[in-house]
Structure 1
Amino acid sequence: MTYFLIAVLLVLMGLVAFSLIKGIVAFLKTTRIDLETGEAETATDMQLAQNKAMFARIKYQAMAIVVVAIILAVAR
């Protein structure tokens, strides 16, 4: 059981890192578009992608915390 939970935790950690990188890339694209055009209104699609990626990161982090709590409960 513990090995399965550790595997799930590793997958969730990978998803957290992936969504974090995806959000940072969207943020950098938004910043670049804003700097090139001088208007903040053109980057709304990138801002939505950034928000979506960061929300996914928070969701995966919460799931990872639950898995760690279960591992600690099982280990007792």
Structure 2
Amino acid sequence: MFDDPLFALVVVACAAVLIILMLGIGSFGVGGKTAHKYSNKMMRWRVAAQAIAIALILLFVWLRGGNG
């Protein structure tokens, strides 16, 4: 399945969401000025990346015939 470029793109998008989420949570944990400066921005990036990942997943299922 990894030979399908769209599937590989979906995996990369999901990994990007995970990385952004971990960075955002990490900045919450640091606290102080770092959290104030970066946490909210990271969570906004996560929402955008997650929307893109969901759109790619739906596109993948639609193009590959998702009926099983």
TM-score range relative to shorter protein? 0.7 to 0.9
Give aligned-pair identity as a percent. Answer: 25
Q: Structure 2: 5+ residue runs without aligned partners? A: none
Which stretches of structure 1, 4 residues or more, deviate above 4 A after TM superposition? none
Q: Structure 1: 5+ residue runs without aligned partners? A: 31-42
Q: Which has the higher contact order (CA 8 A, sep 6+)?
A: 1
How many residue pairs are counted as aligned between the two chains? 63
Q: TM-score, normalised by structure 1?
A: 0.73
Q: State the shift of 1:56 in Å.
A: 1.1
Name the Cα RMSD after superposition.
1.6
Q: TM-score, normalised by structure 2?
A: 0.80
Which residue of the other structure, out of 38, 45, 59, is the alignment partner of 1:49?
38
Whole-angstrom distance in 1 between the partners of 2:16 and 2:53: 10
Whole-angstrom distance in 2 between the partners of 1:23 and 1:51: 8
Matched, 1:73 2:62: yes
More helix by proportion, 1 or 2?
1
